[in-house]
Homo-oligomer: A and B are copies of this chain.
Amino acid sequence: MQLGLVGLGKMGFNMRQRLREGGHEVIGYDPRPEVSDVPTLAALAEALDAPRAVWVMVPSGHITDETITSLAEVLSPGDLVIDGGNSRYTEDAPHAKLLGDKGIAFIDAGVSGGIWGLTEGYGLMVGGSKEDVDRVMPIFDTLRPPGELADGFVHAGPVGAGHYAKMVHNGIEYGLMMAYAEGYELLAAEDLIEDTQAVIQAWTNGTVVRSWLQQLLAKALKEDPEFHDITGYTEDSGEGRWTVEEAINHRVPMPVIAASLFARFASRQEDSPTMKAVSALRNQFGGHAVTRISESG
């Protein structure tokens, strides 16, 4: 089918390609002319046959806001917008309302898979009405990975459910990565272990901890055995924070995912004000840093 696609960054660019290879007619718009098929959003709307379907794949937050607001102006009643970015699920209802007031339908879609999605397919979690989801199912069908539909696609619930599921997916991801990483550090610290990469590689088949992330960790260690070319500075992109906030809202204990989030915050600090305060306290009661008798109390 025909699809408008706004945002041709790393994700959108690949998705256009996968959809085209799947036989769809994709007209892409991006502010960078070198990748864009049309010069403006208005031109995109004009180029599509009504009723239109437009997939938005831009950074979450105000850029998504602006894009959807602009689309509300250039699209027509009966059209449909899919927000495939990592928007916070709480923004979906307002976006659905904004578009709905103009007769435009809205679906939120959580998309997982990163740069591998082009070849392996994207895991999809979508929210919206059954009618709307059915309407763009051919697009979802091409984007999703091959195999059983239920193993790579879920219509998780009404508007917001897709992004909620994706948010939790990413929160879990934080915890998984941290669990592997802590284990890696411990293996690397122990002299008995002669080749940390080989151990992690060996977990690929048969073990309880085998996973895609485990394989990626083995691959990363193969490329750079002691992570010489990498720093611990680690960004977080919203979903981790939102997951912990939702846990607080729902009174769900979430020690592991929260700890994973805090470790990212800490990784970006030059020095820790918290630990400066702890260190200052030790000095206050224990005297100078170096003492003959243990100074800790």
Contacts and interface: CB of A to CB of B under 8 A. Distances in A.
Interface stretch (A21-29, A46-54, A97-105, A152-160): A152-160
A228 B293 CA distance: 27
A220 interface: yes
B231 A123 contact: no
B260 A267 contact: no
A155 to B, nearest CB: 8
Interface residues of A, number: 158
Contact of A277 (B181, B283, B285): B181
Given A193-B164, A293-B58, A181 B274 contact: yes
A273 B183 CA distance: 10
Contact of A209 (B9, B172, B230, B243): B172
Interface stretch (A67-75, A131-139, A234-242): A234-242
Interface string A6-27: 0101111000000000000000
B9 A293 contact: yes
Contacts of A124: 202, 206
9 contacts: A113-B285, A114-B297, A116-B285, A154-B202, A157-B195, A165-B202, A177-B278, A190-B250, A244-B258
Given A10-B291, A123-B207, A186-B246, 11 more contacts: A147-B204, A164-B192, A168-B187, A170-B297, A179-B260, A183-B257, A227-B277, A234-B279, A237-B296, A256-B260, A263-B275
